[in-house]
Structure 1
Amino acid sequence: MKKSYCPIDTFINVIKGKRKATIILHLFQGDKRYSELVKLLTDISERMLTKQLKELELDGLVNRTVFPEVPPRVEYSITELGKDIHPFLKGMYKGGIMFEKSIDGSHL
């Protein structure tokens, strides 16, 4: 995580990326295995999902736990910092719905 000129930019730089906010919202609902996340996020490749999860882990928003089993089981969970940003992401979600309605012309 790198500081920006403005705290808003810092926040956006951390959560921008292919489906990072959506990953956090899914993990807020409960821990997920990697395969569950793959099924939930069908619009991105597994390579991109892995990249986004690594970045979220480095930024302290997601925990990755590897269980010593054969085959290895990997589970992702949200950190306290990830939980702290949940209200902001929910607000962004609601804002997205508002903008989608205006795009569709259903606000008229």
Structure 2
Amino acid sequence: MFNKNLENTEDVECSKNACIASLLPVRDALEVLNGRWKLPILIALGDRPKRFKEISKDIDGITDKMLSKELKDLEMNKLVVRTVYDTFPPTVEYRRTEHSRSLGNVIMALKEWGELHRKEIIGK
């Protein structure tokens, strides 16, 4: 059986099927959040709706084409909602869904691990 406590990975023993079944949700999560931009986009959206250019300004280095693609992927995975307002010109806003807010602890855990890793690798 796959050991739920991964702090000591040497103790992980499982049958092939049990390991695969346990790792499927991890693979699914990584597939949804893969790439350089998805987490920064979700973080940039924060707690309020933003327009495309606001998000673009908040994320250094992302192109409009990439932001558009990543927002579509996040929308497809129900992490972002796109709202078009009937104005001239049309106003479009993006906001995080409640489902994406469930990533809060994951993002904090990645941040903490990243700090530890950075310290381990480069001493900062």
Bin of the TM-score, shorter chain as denominator length: 0.7 to 0.9
1:37 aligned onto 2:60: no
> 1:94-105 alignment to 2 at 5 Å?
94-105=112-123
Which runs of 5 or more residues in structure 2 are unaligned?
Answer: 1-22
Q: Deviations over 1:18-65 (max 9, x none)?
A: 310111122233211111001011211110000000000000000000
8 Å CA contact 1:28, 1:83 repeated in 2: no
8 Å CA contact 2:51, 2:94 repeated in 1: yes
Q: Please, what TM-score do these two structures have when normalized by structure 1?
A: 0.85
Q: Please, what TM-score do these two structures have when normalized by structure 2?
A: 0.75
> 1:67-106 alignment to 2 at 5 Å?
67-106=85-124
Map of 1:59 onto structure 2:
77
Q: Report the alpha carbon displacement of residue 8 of structure 1 after superposing the two structures with TM.
A: 0.6
Map of 1:21 onto structure 2:
39
8 Å CA contact 1:28, 1:86 repeated in 2: no
Number of residue pairs aligned between Structure 1 and Structure 2: 102
The farther-off stretch of 63-72 and 25-34 is 25-34
Q: Residues 57 and 100 from structure 1, CA distance in 2 versus in 1: closer, same or farther, beyond 3 angstroms?
A: same
Whole-angstrom distance in 2 between the partners of 1:95 and 1:72 = 41
Higher RCO structure (Cα 8 Å, ≥6 apart): 1
Runs of 4+ off more than 3 Å? none
Whole-angstrom distance in 2 between the partners of 1:102 and 1:33 = 38
Aligned residues with identical type, % of pairs = 33
